[in-house]
Structure formats: structure tokens, C-alpha cells
Amino acid sequence: MNDKTSFSTSIKNSAFIKNPVLFESIGIAPVVAMAVSVKTAIMLSVISAAELIIIECFASIALKKVKHEYRVLIYALLGVLINVPFWLFFSKFAPNETANVSIFLPIIAVNSLIALHCERVAVRSTLKETFFDAVSATIGYVLIIFIVAILREILGSGTFYSIKLNLPVQLKGLLLPFGGFLMLGFAAAFFKARIKSRYPEENPEEAFNLSEISQSHHEDIKTMLHEDFESVANEPIKENPIDFFKSVVEKPEQPEEEKHEKRKKIKRAKKEKPVKTEKRKKEKKAVEKSVKATPIENPRKEKYESEFDDILLDLERSKAPKEEENIDISKDGDGNGGDEA
């Protein structure tokens, strides 16, 4: 009896009150990309259910003593191994639908819903509790997949299971990814209103709570710091790591005599400061007067002027012999003409 009540309550929480897609925002990408018709919803539901139940049960049996970073890699590897035979099966019996969503099928293998439930439940619970959690999470996930897929097919394509409904208006935009986000938003609002009216003590917005996993990560970081610093340093760290870093960063306190001398120096500097500023102002004024009195010589200007003069002289010299030649030619022409006459 207890098992039945626990199973029913877990289904109620996962499928309705704390739905993984609507209120935990997990596994959204496959739903938005693939749930566009009833046939694609069947494909997505079967593959997701198989992956979630098999991987979560395997994690409860064999991965409890494996480190977190290695467990995540194993989840992805198992997802790929489960995904491949299902993809071959659907490509044979439903080739058109498989070809339409074949780009998005690898996303299911690395579904965040699997990793989260494995880390939150499977590696900390018995096989029986893990199986109940996997089934209830699957029911909640599949429920949203079919709701979104049916609405998008009817409103976007005007069909149901590829049967034409002859609707007067079709909203083709709902078949795009942003249409999937809109459907999820409306579904989340509808489910939240129903939960508030039927279960007022429940808070579905608090479903996205990763405090258990974050607490375990904090513990892993503390143990890692202790182990690494003990292996490197000569003496083991017995204090809190935060206190250890503070002792390294903070400077040692100075004696009172040095503090008193520093205060005296600061007071003297404040007294001498106005005198120095007046002297500097007088020096600046004297420098400005001397600058205005003396003309500024620009060596570059003189250099450019001399170069320009040299260029003009060269041009005049080059023109002079040409003018002389022209004069000689005109004289020769006149002389020859006179002789002929």
C-alpha cells in the first residue's frame, strides 16, 4: 500500500505539480524542435522513455561510486547507444518523419532531464525508488510532448496524424521553434492556474530547486581542496579553506609606533603642501612669460624652406638651356631663308 501511495504521489508531482518541462525548464530543446506532429511525438516519447528509465536504473546500480564528471560522460554515451537502434527502427517504418527530425535526434541522447534525475535521485536511492522516479518523470515528459505536438499539428498543419481537418486558418509559424516556446508558455500558465486552484499549498515555481546537487558539489569542492593542498604543501590544511586564503591575502598588522610615525608624516605633508603649490604656480608663470617673449624657432620649417628653394633653382637651370636652344634655332632659320632669297 505504501508503495502504491508513493508511486501515485511521485506521478502526481512529476506529471502535474512539478512537471520537468513546464516548471523545471528541463528537456525543452527536443520538445521545441521535434514535437510538431503526433508521429514525431511518438518517436520522441519512445526514445526519451527508454533512455530515461534504462540510464537512471543503470546509474542506481553501477554508478554510485563513480565521480560526478565521469558519470555525466557515461550518461551521454549510454544515450547514444540507446538512440542508434531506435533511429534505425523509425527510419525503416517512418522514413519521412525520421528524415524531417533526423537533425534533432542527437539532442535526445544528451537530454538534461536524464542527467538531472540521475544525479538527484538515481545515485542516492535504491533501484525501486529510482524506477518509480524514472517512470513518473517519463509520464510527465511524455504528457507535455503530446499536448504540444497535437496543438501544433492541428493549428499549424491543419491535420491530425496526417489526416486533413479542412480548417479555414492555419498558423504555419507554430511549426517553427518559437511556436514551440509559445505553446510551452501557455501550457505552463494553464497548469499553474489549475494547481493553484486545486492545490493552494503547492508552489510549482519552486520546482526548479537544485539545492541538493549544489550542496553535494560544495562538499566535493571542500574535499578536493583538502586533498590537493595536503599533497602539495608540507603541512596539511586543518583550517577552513576560506580562512586559509584570508590568512595568505591579508597583510600582517603593523606596530603602534610605526602607525604613529606615519600619521606624523601625513600631517607634515599636509602642512607643506600649500607652500609647494604656491612655488609651483610662480615657476609656471615665469616659464610662460619666457616662452611668450622668445620666438619659437622651427628647425623643420627652415629645412623645408631651404629644400623648396633648391627645387626652384633646379627648375630655373633646367629651363635656361632650352630657351637658348630655341633662340639659336630661330636665328638659323632666318639666315637660311635670306641666302635662298
Grid coordinates given for 14: 512529476
DSSP β-ladder status, 159-160 and 163-164: antiparallel
Query: Tell me: the pLDDT tens digits for 170-200?
Result: 899 899 989 999 999 999 889 888 888 888 7
Spatial separation of the C-alpha atoms in residues 25 and 19, rounded to whole Å: 9
Question: In sequence order, which residues have a C-beta less than 8 Å from that of residue 114 and are 6 or more positions away?
Answer: 51, 52, 55, 56, 75, 79
Q: Residue 144 — very low, low, confident or very high, per pLDDT cuts 50/70/90?
A: very high
Q: φ, ψ for residue 164 (rounded to 5)?
A: -70, 135
Query: Tell me: the pLDDT tens digits for 76-91?
Result: 999 999 999 998 998 8
pTM (2 decimals)?
0.59
Of 130, 120, 123, 113, whose CA–CA distance to 62 is shortest?
123
pLDDT average, residue stretch 43-53:
93
The answer to whether 179 and 156 are in contact (CB under 8 A) is: yes
Q: Residue 340 — very low, low, confident or very high, per pLDDT cuts 50/70/90?
A: very low
**What would you report as the CA-atom Rg of the chain, rounded to the nearest whole angstrom?**
43
Is residue 266 packed enough to be buried (19+ CB in 10 Å), middle (13-18) or exposed (0-12)?
Answer: exposed
